[in-house]
């Protein structure tokens, strides 16, 4: 059983060479901008990454995945919100492999079943045609081609419960977590930036109250969960990038916000 691509050719290129070209362009810009920075040398246990089309949020996502590669995890657990179907709790990718344009990633079915015994993890097949998680996989295939993956798509879920799942995952040093989220949607630029600052500050300060003071991230449950887990595990947050769709489109009338962040042990 394969978790087939569902948004290739829409959110990201369907052809591997085009993805590789985009990543090379992102890194060329990044290397010029961060010549004297230690930001690219960090070794995260978890990252936050956006999930819009690569033309809008790919640069921001790429930074997070590039530094995650420094940690060389054996397993990457990708956690994102369901946009298409209602999910009560969380659905796990009970497949054998995960399709990307650059080749399949192996799904660690045995570890997924281990987690399913510990936590309430269902299998809702229709939830897995989900772009919030799928957009992360070509980056993982590029930077961590031998890593095994697991996809969790959540819906109506208590962030504190998801935090316990994250803590269990991160108790194994072979694991890393990718939390997928975009920030505010379709506000004028200045209003979006004001709302998004609550998200950035909440992550930077590991402050859940700040997240509830105006952060409108579509994956806020996941963000809150990793903040709670990071606080419990003593991880240090680092904001890597923030921008909006206006940086790509030039349209400041109705923008979407994007953040990437890392949590370092």
Tens-digit pLDDT profile for residues 199-227: 999 999 999 999 999 999 999 999 999 99
Helix (H, G, I), strand (E, B) or coil at 208: helix
Q: What is the mean pLDDT of the chain?
A: 97
Residue range(s) defining the domain that contains residue 119: 2-29+44-56+69-264
Note the pTM of the prediction, 2 decimals.
0.98
Q: Residue 172 — pLDDT band, cuts 50, 70, 90?
A: very high
50 in any annotated domain? yes
Instruction: Report the domain count for the chain.
Output: 1
35 in any annotated domain? no
Q: Percentage of the chain with pLDDT > 70?
A: 100
63 in any annotated domain? no
Q: What is the DSSP letter of 96?
A: S
39 in any annotated domain? no
Q: What is the pLDDT of residue 37?
A: 78
Query: What is the distance of C-alpha 104 from the center of its chain?
Result: 19
- Would the pLDDT of 173 be above 80? yes
- Domain CATH for 25: 3.40.830.10
36 in any annotated domain? no
Q: What is the DSSP letter of 69?
A: G
61 in any annotated domain? no
Taking the C-alpha atoms of residue 239 and residue 260, their distance in angstroms, rounded to an integer, is 6
DSSP lists the bridge partners of residue 97 as 2, 106
- Would the pLDDT of 40 be above 90? yes
34 in any annotated domain? no
Cβ 89 vs Cβ 154: under 8 Å? yes
Q: Percentage of the chain with pLDDT > 90?
A: 97
Is the Cα torsion angle 47, 180, 24, 26 positive or negative in sign? negative
64 in any annotated domain? no
């Amino acid at each position: 059983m394969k978790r087939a691509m569902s948004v290739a050719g829409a959110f990201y290129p369907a052809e591997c060479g085009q993805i590789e070209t985009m990543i090379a362009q992102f890194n060329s810009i990044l290397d010029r901008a961060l010549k004297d920075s230690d930001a690219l040398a960090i070794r995260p246990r978890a990252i936050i990454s956006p999930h819009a089309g690569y033309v809008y949020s790919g640069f921001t996502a790429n930074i997070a995945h590039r530094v995650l590669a420094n940690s060389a995890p054996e397993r990457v657990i990708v956690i994102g919100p369901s946009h298409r179907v209602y999910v009560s709790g969380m659905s796990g990718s009970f497949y054998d492999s995960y399709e990307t344009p650059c080749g399949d990633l192996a799904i660690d079915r045995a570890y997924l079943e281990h987690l399913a015994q510990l936590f309430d993890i269902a299998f809702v097949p229709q939830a897995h045609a989900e772009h919030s998680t799928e957009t992360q996989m070509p980056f993982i295939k590029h930077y961590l081609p031998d890593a095994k993956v697991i996809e969790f798509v959540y819906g109506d879920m208590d962030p504190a419960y998801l935090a316990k799942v994250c803590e269990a995952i991160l108790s194994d040093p072979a694991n890393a977590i990718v939390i997928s989220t975009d920030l505010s949607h379709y506000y004028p630029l200045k209003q979006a930036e004001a709302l998004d600052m609550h998200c950035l500050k909440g992550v930077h300060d590991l402050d859940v109250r700040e997240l509830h003071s105006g952060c409108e991230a579509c994956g806020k449950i996941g963000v809150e969960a990793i903040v709670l887990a990071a606080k419990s595990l003593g991880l240090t947050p680092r904001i890597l990038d923030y921008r909006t769709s206006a940086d790509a489109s030039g349209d400041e009338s109705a923008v979407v916000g994007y953040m990437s962040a890392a949590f370092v042990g």
